[in-house]
Chain A
Amino acid sequence: MMLEVAVQHRFGAFALDVAFAAGPGVTALIGPSGAGKSTVLGVVAGLVRANAGEVRFDGRVLQGAGVFVPMHQRRMGVVFQEARLFPHLSVAQNLGYGARMLGIAADVAGVAASLGIAHLLARRPRDLSGGERQRVALGRALLAQPRMLLMDEPLAALDAARKAEILPLIAGIKDVPILYVTHSAAEVEALADRVVRMEEGRVI
């Protein structure tokens, strides 16, 4: 399982020019705000189409010369900083959404139990705390059986206690490679197998 990224992208005055590879385990993409970390994540997820360059996963070109695989065909599970749950669906329906779209089986109850949210299945996102929302977002991404998990500062909006609860859950994900964007040294130390440092749109 290998992700290879070598892309250039420009919007306004900001120029992104990065090249790195991420294998099994957790690859942390770290750097200050505005370094372009989330843009890189967006490029890998298919949310952003880079001006030039190539993104490959396991040898398959996701973006390259004349190729752009749309996000819904990439099977990249994304956990955003602000959870982005579907407000009109229950927790159970949120969890099962990806599997439903992909026509695959989903053990909603099992994953909910492992994330400590089994008692929340009938609730709506608005009735959840920030930590609960992030657990649901994590479970939702996992249940879509992604080839890779892309996590964009998933703990940044949570207090220390909630972070401490969720970090071990992320650390426990062993069978899916993770690209983890953060600017927290503590999260890098707790999770990362390798680190890619970015600054002003470049890998340093």
Chain B
Amino acid sequence: MSDWLTAGEWVALWLSLKVAFWATLCSLPFGLLVGHALARWSFPGKGLLNALVLLPLILPPVVTGYLLLVTFGRNGVVGGWLYQVTGFTFAFQWMGAALAAAVMAFPLMVRAIRLSIEAVDRKIEDAAGTLGASPLRVWWTVTLPLALPGVLAGAVLAFAKAMGEFGATITFVASIPGQTQTVPTAIYEALQVPGGETAALRLVAVSVAVAVVAVLASEWLSLRVARRVRGA
């Protein structure tokens, strides 16, 4: 293992990547469903759903973390039942950090997906329908491919947000080294210790590097997909 980060810092970096990856991957199907519903469907409570999706963006992260704790904690409404039935709990586990990151990143993902689906010409979808494609197959063969650049951009944005999530994570699953301590919480912990600035600086450099790579990768990917979609 390279010596420019300590073993604990490598663990925090690896955990951050793992948390962000799973948070993004697991929320993507829900992001597609909710993004599509908000873009295309009319139903009672649509405004409420939109507000609920946006809520984590507006609420202080610590409030979201607390709500997650009282809902999914071991004694929470859902979490208590889950623990009794399956023995599984999100509390103080990396999966809890992934849940917190997913909830916090969800509004950004949904917004990007919603906008990209809204931009797909419905007349082209209608044309697919007249050619025998069921609504689900129209979505899979026309809507999704045409919205893909926006969907990918939303996923990368969510990944970046999940990588940097702090407030909800530390409130919901604390900052246990090797379990729930991600890069942002590790930076915070380092700053609480006298002489910890050097460690914090190293982790800040890592955060910046990961963010730059993520943005560059997303730009490159979006450009490639957009070209393919436009037929260049």
A residues within 8 Å of B by Cβ? 45-47, 70-78, 80, 82, 84-88, 90, 97-98, 101-102, 124-127, 140-141, 144
Contacts and interface: CB of A to CB of B under 8 A. Distances in A.
Given A84-B121, A101-B133, 7 more contacts: A72-B131, A73-B132, A77-B130, A78-B130, A98-B132, A101-B128, A140-B131
Given A72-B133, A72-B134, A98-B132, A88 B126 contact: no
Interface stretch (B22-30, B165-173, B223-231): B223-231
A88 B120 CA distance: 12
A71 B231 contact: no
Residues of B in contact with A, size category: 20 to 34
A88 B145 contact: yes
B131 A141 contact: yes
A3 to B, nearest CB: 15
A72 B138 CA distance: 10
Contacts of B127: 78, 80, 84-86
A88 B146 contact: yes
B133 A45 contact: no
Given A87-B146, A88-B146, A144-B131, A101 B137 contact: yes
Given A71-B126, A80-B123, A101-B137, A88 B229 contact: yes
Interface in B122-161: 123-124, 126-135, 137-138, 141-142, 145-146
A133 to B, nearest CB: 12
12 contacts: A47-B126, A70-B135, A85-B124, A86-B142, A88-B231, A97-B131, A98-B131, A101-B128, A101-B134, A102-B131, A126-B231, A127-B231
A117 B135 CA distance: 29
A129 to B, nearest CB: 15
SS of B interface (majority): helix
Contacts, number: 83
Nearest to B133: A101
B130 A87 contact: no
Contact of B130 (A71, A85, A86, A126): A71
A84 B125 CA distance: 9
B132 A72 contact: yes
Nearest to B131: A98
Nearest to A140: B131
A125 B231 contact: yes
Contacts of A76: 130
Nearest to A104: B132
10 interchain residue pairs of minimum CB distance:
A124-B231, A98-B131, A84-B127, A101-B132, A102-B132, A78-B130, A101-B133, A71-B129, A88-B229, A126-B231
Contacts of B230: 87-88, 124, 126
A141 B130 CA distance: 9
Contacts of B137: 101
Contacts of A127: 231
A1 B118 CA distance: 39
Contacts of B126: 47, 71, 84
Interface in B175-232: 228-232
A144 B132 contact: yes
Nearest to A98: B131
Nearest to A77: B130
Contact of A87 (B131, B134, B141, B231): B231
A125 B127 CA distance: 15
Nearest to B129: A71
B228 to A, nearest CB: 7
A70 B134 CA distance: 9
